[in-house]
């Protein structure tokens, strides 16, 4: 009996020792790491995919100073300007009040539209987890412009019915994005647009659209992006086209540059989604070259 | 006292003694510095793990690259996304051998080992100092890493923003592996 006990104890001792020694030190350390799934970062690198917003919000205290440009040639008439006949520039400021909440303001000079937005990211995709496969954000934009006969969008509206010359448009979006792998991310954005004015020849003032966006990372700092909006109830007054964009995003330290080919010339969402009157091709008047520059200024710094 | 019980106690003592040769550091500090003409970058990881095996005279370190904290949050994103690619290579590790620790306490000596960053393993000699405070060991040291050696690409336009050689400092305080 004693011998059996002794053998048993020796065997146990050896077994424990063996276990302890056979284990590589690094394997042992690997077990110490937390198993909690972590948040996916950088589904997109920029807060705009190209035309419209991505799921991304900047970290608390980040101030984005942006200048978005669209260049295009006139369809007819004099085309004597250097490089491009027309340009629309939007100057913008975005501030991140928290890691998930951003407020922004902007004004574009060609169409004279002022816009403001809030974006709140309420769900973050978890890495290697089936529980939270998406990131989601709510986006709300308000745009304002004077509806005088000289402005481009005057003809769209029923100008007899209301004395108000101001148009306020409201764009609500739910942004749903998933980072499929380190290179490929995709976003769908159900969109609802409404205004304070009816359309001409049409009693409605609200429209529904679905946005699709994607990025493919081709290098550490460069990705190819594309975006498209499908409008479910387009204007009846004139033929409108769905906006499309194909572009390259490039980050250089604090500076984020976006180069794009598109048919959208406005920056306010309600306009370019529903009132783009030119198709996407390379003819004058249809082809727009877009160049967006965004500088990220970190107003607060982490303590190390 | 009967013999089996004696053996049992004895064997526990033996097991305890062997495992007691291992020490772990759970909140190791690893800091790196990049001094370049345009800007200086500093990042700190306070959650590096390390294990020390006195019997086998081995040391191992493992840490998550995402746990590095930068002064500017955008740098954290660029570091993980564009340079270190932490989606593909989440950890950096080190395995090293040392000579007799007890005889070289409080003096610098060279530890030879293998370091793995960004999926690339290199042999490295690291100048380290071992201290012993109340039966617990503390190891600190520093070394230089050449960014290019680890296939981390810096675009030419940013070559003045990021140093070609990065200084790494580390500090681990070990506790008995079993007692915590």
- pLDDT score of B102 more than 70: yes
Are A81 and A223 in the same domain? yes
In the prediction, which pLDDT does B21 show? 80
Contact across the interface for B15 and A13, Cβ inside 8 Å:
yes
> What is the span of the domain harbouring residue A75?
41-298
By Cβ distance, the residue of B18, B24, B77 closest to A41 is B77
The Cα–Cα gap between B128 and B50 comes to 14
Are A45 and A7 in the same domain? no
Residues of A in contact with B74 (CB under 8 A): 58-59, 62, 254, 296, 298
The Cα–Cα gap between A297 and A190 comes to 31
- Give the global pTM: 0.85
- pLDDT score of A245 more than 90: yes
pLDDT digits (tens, 9 = 90+) for B66-92: 999 999 999 999 999 999 999 899 999
> Is residue A304 domain-resident?
no
Mean pLDDT of the A133-156 span? 85
pLDDT digits (tens, 9 = 90+) for A265-274: 999 999 999 9
Are A14 and A152 in the same domain? no
The answer to whether A181 touches A141, Cβ cutoff 8 Å, is: no
Are A11 and A126 in the same domain? no
CATH classification of the domain holding A122: 2.40.160.40
- Contact A41/B at CB under 8 A: yes
Domains of chain B: 22-176 (2.40.128.110)
Are A3 and A145 in the same domain? no
The Cα–Cα gap between A237 and A156 comes to 7
Percent of chain B predicted with pLDDT > 90: 60
- Contact A26/B at CB under 8 A: yes
In the prediction, which pLDDT does B16 show? 47
- Please give the mean pLDDT across all residues of chain A: 88
Residues of B in contact with A9 (CB under 8 A): 4, 7-8, 11
The Cα–Cα gap between A262 and A287 comes to 6
Are A215 and A143 in the same domain? yes
- pLDDT score of B125 more than 80: yes
Q: Residue B15 is encoded by which pair of tokens?
A: 């097991």
Are A157 and A285 in the same domain? yes
In the prediction, which pLDDT does A75 show? 81
Q: Quick one: which of B39, B61, B153, B156 has its CA closest to A301? A: B39
- Contact B1/A at CB under 8 A: no
Contact across the interface for A304 and B71, Cβ inside 8 Å:
yes
- Contact B178/A at CB under 8 A: no
What is the DSSP secondary structure assignment for residue A280, as one 8-state letter?
Answer: S
Q: Which ipTM value was assigned to this complex?
A: 0.82
**Range scoring the smallest mean pLDDT among A159-163, A256-260, B94-98:** A159-163
pLDDT digits (tens, 9 = 90+) for A102-115: 999 999 998 899 99
- Contact A6/B at CB under 8 A: yes
- pLDDT score of A61 more than 70: yes
What count of other Cβ atoms lies within 10 Å of the Cβ of residue A264? 28
């Amino acid at each position: 009996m004693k011998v059996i006990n002794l053998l048993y104890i020796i065997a146990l001792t050896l077994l424990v020792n063996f276990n302890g020694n056979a284990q590589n030190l690094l394997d042992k350390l690997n077990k110490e790491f937390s198993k909690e799934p972590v948040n996916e970062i950088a589904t997109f690198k920029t807060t705009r995919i190209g035309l419209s917003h991505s799921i991304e919000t900047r970290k608390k205290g980040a101030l984005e100073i942006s200048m978005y440009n669209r260049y295009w040639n006139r369809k007819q008439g004099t085309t004597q300007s250097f490089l491009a006949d027309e340009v629309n520039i939007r100057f913008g400021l975005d501030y991140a009040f928290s890691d998930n909440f951003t407020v922004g303001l902007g004004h574009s000079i060609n169409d004279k539209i002022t816009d403001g937005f809030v974006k709140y990211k309420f769900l973050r995709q978890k890495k290697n987890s089936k529980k939270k496969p998406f990131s989601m954000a709510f986006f709300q934009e308000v745009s304002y412009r004077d509806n005088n006969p000289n402005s481009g969008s005057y003809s769209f509206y029923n100008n007899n019915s209301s004395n108000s010359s101001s148009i306020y448009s409201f764009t609500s979006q739910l942004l749903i994005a998933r980072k499929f792998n380190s290179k490929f991310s995709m976003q769908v954005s159900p969109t609802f647009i409404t205004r304070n004015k009816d359309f001409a020849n049409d009693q409605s003032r609200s429209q529904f659209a679905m946005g699709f966006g994607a990025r493919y990372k081709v290098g550490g700092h460069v990705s190819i992006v594309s975006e498209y909006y499908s409008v479910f109830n387009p204007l009846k007054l004139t033929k409108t086209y769905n906006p499309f964009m194909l572009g390259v995003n490039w980050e250089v330290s604090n500076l984020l540059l976006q180069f794009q080919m598109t048919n959208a010339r406005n920056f306010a969402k309600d306009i370019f989604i529903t009132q783009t009157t030119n198709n996407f091709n390379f003819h004058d008047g249809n082809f727009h070259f877009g160049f967006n520059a965004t500088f990220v200024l970190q107003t607060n710094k982490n303590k190390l | 006292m009967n013999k089996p019980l004696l053996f049992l106690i004895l064997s526990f003592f033996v097991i305890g003694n062997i495992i007691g040769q291992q020490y772990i550091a759970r909140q190791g500090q690893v800091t790196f510095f990049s001094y370049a003409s345009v800007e200086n970058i500093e990042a700190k990881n306070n959650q590096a793990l390390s294990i020390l095996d006195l019997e086998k005279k081995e040391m191992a370190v493992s840490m998550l690259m995402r746990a590095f904290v930068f002064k500017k949050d955008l740098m954290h994103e660029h570091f993980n996304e564009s340079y270190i690619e932490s989606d593909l290579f989440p950890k950096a590790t080190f395995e090293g051998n040392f000579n007799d620790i007890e005889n070289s306490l409080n003096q610098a000596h060279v530890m030879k080992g293998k370091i793995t960053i960004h999926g690339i393993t290199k042999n490295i000699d690291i100048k380290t100092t071992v201290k012993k405070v109340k039966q617990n060991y503390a190891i600190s040291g520093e070394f230089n890493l050449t960014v290019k050696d680890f296939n981390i690409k810096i675009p030419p336009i940013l070559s003045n923003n990021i140093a070609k050689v990065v200084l790494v400092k580390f500090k681990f305080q070990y506790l008995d592996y079993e007692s915590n």
